[in-house]
Amino acid sequence: MGADLRYPIGKVYQAKHEVTPEEKERWINDIAEFPLKLRLAVQGLSPEQLDTPYRPGGWTVRQVVHHLAEGQMVAYTRVKFALTEDHPIITIQQEDLWAELPDYRDVPIESSLQLFQLIQERLVTLLRGLNTEDFGRAYVHPVSGTWTLENVIGLLAWHSKHHTAHITSLRERMGW
């Protein structure tokens, strides 16, 4: 039986009880590097290839790119809420429904690549300016519970690797 194509880098990010300063720095660096990694992952793909699902029943490459940009917008806003409010309860992103909206089909991926880069620049600048106490601030997700910002950045680093691996593993399997 083959690997589960849904999870090319492992099932999910597991929140940690303690996060070292080195882990935080590595995760922030990962976040900073992902716009280029995503751009390289989709470089040279044809429209037909962009409209290929990364797995049977999965999103297309185009949907993954749009999802990453929008996911970072949502994440950036959640971080801001956590830094400016006391344990805000965030809303749930209906990502599967968002992926079916017309903009995911009709907007060129370049706009999402640029958006992803711009949001990452803002997010990384914000994160690099935080102190230890700031990273302990948290928001409450209605399903998965309380998330400290230090674990949020671990999740964001994992999320970008996860979806970029969807694209790169598809390219490898298809010989693109």
Mean pLDDT of the chain, nearest integer: 95
Is the distance from CB of 31 to CB of 156 less than 8 angstroms?
yes
For 8, the 3-state DSSP assignment is strand
Distances in whole angstroms, Cα of residue 13 to Cα of each of 74, 155, 171: 18, 6, 24
Under CATH, what is the fold of the domain 21-174?
Four Helix Bundle (Hemerythrin (Met), subunit A) (1.20.120)
Can you spell out the DSSP letters for 20-49? -HHHHHHHHHHHHHHHHHHHHHHTT--HHH
DSSP 53: B
| pLDDT tens, position by position, 7-18 | 998 888 888 888
Average pLDDT of 46-67? 97
| Distance in Å from the first CA to the final CA of the chain | 24
Mean pLDDT of 90-104: 95
Can you read off the two tokens belonging to residue 57?
């029943």
Residues 112-150: b if buried by 16+ CB within 10 A, e if exposed: bbebbbebbeebbebbeebeeeebebbbeeeeeeebbbb
Quote the tokens at residue 126: 């914000």
Kindly report, residue by residue over 157-174, the tens digit of the pLDDT: 999 999 999 999 999 999
Other Cβ atoms closer than 10 A to 160: 22
